[in-house]
Structure 1
């Protein structure tokens, strides 16, 4: 992977972390220089805890962050990005959970993100119906990537290494780097 764009990639897993076979874990194995959020309690729904974890890892970044969030981690990513736009090049939100599911209606609003966003969604995601993915992508000003019937885009849905997703991430990173010049 090309890292010459001076954009630091950071993985933000969702609740219960991303197990060994999950695409986030596989990508981190392939790219150990990428940052990855660490939590004390992966089962606790704590938006501020997730944001604090991103803050902690951000201090290790060598350039603006490209946050790659999955599920609840996608929600934390977009809140952090909105609070810290000078430190964030963009966000890739993969199968974000419905904010109302976690009572985050006051924290996550239907307003444009402060940074560029890419929202990858499935028609069969149990945590975010596709119509809501369309709503949020439009509200946040994100490009919506429809990957069909792919469940929650996790190991249970058959997403291990996920080379297509990694290629899409690198396309997005190249676009962000080109637009920052």
Structure 2
């Protein structure tokens, strides 16, 4: 699967965590140097708590890291990057940001009880990033994902009609995503 044995893969799940057949969980099982951010509350996310959990995990890792974030995990990474200085993210080789949610979208709060996420930071990320977006994501219009990628200085990958790029959309180990992750690890 992945072949760089001195980079830690940091898994940043979204709302309700990633289930046993989600690509994030499968990657975690298949890569020996993986660590998953563990949130105290997966059901009612609070930005400050989720960002603090990500920060604590990253501080506990020696050496380079690559982040693989999904959905609200993407928003968590963006807020983490906006709220920290160079010393905090100098070891981040890159981030794969999959299915970013539009936390400012009408009805978002009714579908996901998250607090403190709006607005998403619109600043260039301090590390290389790839945003993977779907044209049929129920949590974000493609044009908004495109705007996020541009603001973050990230490469945008069009996943086509891929739903929320999760288990329900038919994504298992997701080999195309693994190849994108490897470009960040080897870059």
**TM-score bracket relative to the smaller structure:** 0.7 to 0.9
TM-score by length of 1: 0.88
Task: State the 1:7 CA deviation.
Answer: 3.0
Cα distance 1:105–1:39, how it changes in 2: closer, same or farther (>3 A)?
closer
Q: Does the Cα contact within 8 Å between 1:94 and 1:121 map onto a contact in 2? A: yes
Q: Does the Cα contact within 8 Å between 1:122 and 1:148 map onto a contact in 2? A: yes
Q: Does the Cα contact within 8 Å between 1:124 and 1:149 map onto a contact in 2? A: yes
TM-score by length of 2: 0.85
| RMSD value, Cα | 1.6
Structure 1 stretches of 5 or more lacking a match?
176-181
Q: Does the Cα contact within 8 Å between 2:70 and 2:99 map onto a contact in 1? A: yes
Output one character per residue of 1:29-58: Cα deviation in whole Å (capped at 9) or x when no partner: 111421111112101121111111112222
Q: How does 1:105-120 map to 2 (within 5 A)?
A: 105-106=118-119, 108-120=120-132
3-state secondary structure, aligned to 2:4: coil
3-state secondary structure, aligned to 2:173: coil
Return the alpha-carbon distance in structure 2 between the equivalents of residues 104 and 60 of structure 1.
24
Output one character per residue of 1:78-119: Cα deviation in whole Å (capped at 9) or x when no partner: 22234233242221100011131456334x222211221110
